[in-house]
Structure 1
Amino acid sequence: MTSKQHHGLPVAGYQPQTDDKVALVNENKALEERVLRQFDKLAQMEPGAVDGRWFAIGRTAIEQGFMALNRSVFQPSRVALPEDDKTA
């Protein structure tokens, strides 16, 4: 079975991706959504039931973790800027 290439977003640094990589990141996104829904449940609890500072730290860490995981799969690259010297 051949894996087709998905064209990346028209954003500098993003490359075409295989079916397998797209499926893996979509699986990660579904897992992230399940975890974030648990945060949503906790956010609905009575005031003081959870420590707001640690709640925010935890949610941010989860979001950053999944973002890093997905970047590890898609491997975006750095981009050239107009001021970069092409003759060096």
Structure 2
Amino acid sequence: MTEHKGLPVEGYKAQPEHKVQAVNLNKRDEERVLRVLDELSKAPDVDQRWLAIGRAHIEQGYMAINRAIFRPSRISLPEDGAML
């Protein structure tokens, strides 16, 4: 099983291939939905405020799903070891 190196961001670790594939599939699905919303944003009879709210919720939903798959962890801070 291929293991992908983690992101250069604290809290993210190496991920197995099946998780990377799942997140990449989600990213493609999200992009398709966002392109539909891009087209809707050009329509003069669409409420742009509600469209923006819907878009933000869709983006947040995909982020939450991908975070559930990758399961980033909490990180240690420099002050964790310091005694006051």
> Common fold, TM-score beyond 0.5?
yes
Secondary structure, counterpart of 1:38 in structure 2 = helix
Runs of 4+ in 1 over 6 A off after TM superposition: none
- The aligned counterpart of 2:49 is 53
Q: Secondary structure at the match of 1:66?
A: helix
Query: What do the CA deviations read for 1:29-54 (whole angstroms, capped 9, x no partner)?
Result: 000000000000001112xx111221
Q: Which consecutive unaligned segments of at least 5 residues does structure 1 have?
A: none
3-state SS of the aligned residue for 1:73? helix
- Using the alignment, how far apart are the partners of 1:83 and 1:19 within structure 2? 35
Which residue of the partner structure matches residue 75 of structure 1?
Answer: 71
Q: Number of aligned residue pairs: give it.
A: 83
Instruction: Write the distance in 2 (CA, Å) between the matches of 1:60 and 1:31.
Output: 15
Pick one of 1, 10, 13 that aligns with 2:11.
13
Partner of residue 29, structure 2: 31
Structure 2 Cα separation of the partners of residues 12 and 28 of structure 1: 23
Q: What is the TM-score of this pair, normalised by structure 2?
A: 0.93
**How many Å apart are 1:86 and its aligned residue?**
7.1
- Whole-angstrom CA distance in 2 between matches of 1:53 and 1:41: 15
Q: Which has the higher helix share?
A: 2
TM-score for the superposition, normalised by structure 1: 0.89
Quick one: percent identity of the two aligned structures?
Answer: 55
Hey, what's the Cα distance between the residues in 2 that align with 1:72 and 1:43?
Answer: 30
